[in-house]
Amino acid sequence: MIFIRRARKLLSTYGIGAGKRLTLAQALDYGVDLKRLHLGCGNIHIEDWCNVDVLKTGATDLVLDIQSLPGIAENSVEKIYSCHVLEHFSTSDIPRILARWYDVLQPGGEIRISVPDLDKITKIYQDNLNHFLTPGHQPWIALIYGGQKDQYDFHKTGFNFTYLKDLLTQVGFSSIQEYGADRHFIEGVFDNSLAREPFDKPISLNVVATKDIQSDRA
């Protein structure tokens, strides 16, 4: 199974996969369902979701700027899922991005966000300090600062539950809860929300929230 996931990721990097790679106009003509948006999909294609990314990978159905979601109607989306994406935007931009995601959701709609959890990461780091003080072992640069493979692959901010909950509350979300990393909420999907390497400890903050049915911003 691990080999299959790695093979799919490699193929996706070269634009090979299940994604349609359409513009919004093409997606609407094609009849792509925009009710469930997987934002910043990267190389992960989720069946029965519209997989959205600014890059044309093999997983991307809709090529679109996920910060502003231009052309996506307000109150039109049932569910949003974003995994290890929000940390790639600047701290000053995140409230605006979350507000836009809130606006496109239907009243009663659900958002799930997964990001690296600084609380978990720093604890794991300190618990394994001897590993990181051993020559040849880098101090978790990729996890904390991003893989830095291209202009989109840099981490610009960090989160713990208290901070992310406060940001979500400020734009209007409610029923904000953290959920575990034992299994994905979508059957058969494996992504960074479940990551436990290399110390077999979860490193992600997984949060679910809803847009109130009676929303002041709706």
Residue 39: which H helix or E strand, with range? strand 36-39
Residue 215 pLDDT class (50, 70, 90 cuts): low
Q: How confident is residue 12, by pLDDT bands cut at 50, 70 and 90? A: low
Residue 216 lies in a domain: no
**DSSP assignments along 121-150, one per residue:** HHHHHHHTHHHHTSTT---SHHHHH---SS
Residue 128 lies in a domain: yes
* pTM, entire model: 0.92
Distance set, CA 138 to CA 6, 96, 134, 208 (Å)? 23, 34, 9, 32
* CATH code where residue 111 lies: 3.40.50
Domain count, the chain: 1
In DSSP terms, 63 is beta-bridged to 53
Domain of 177?
A: 2-211
Only one residue has tokens 């990001």, namely 115
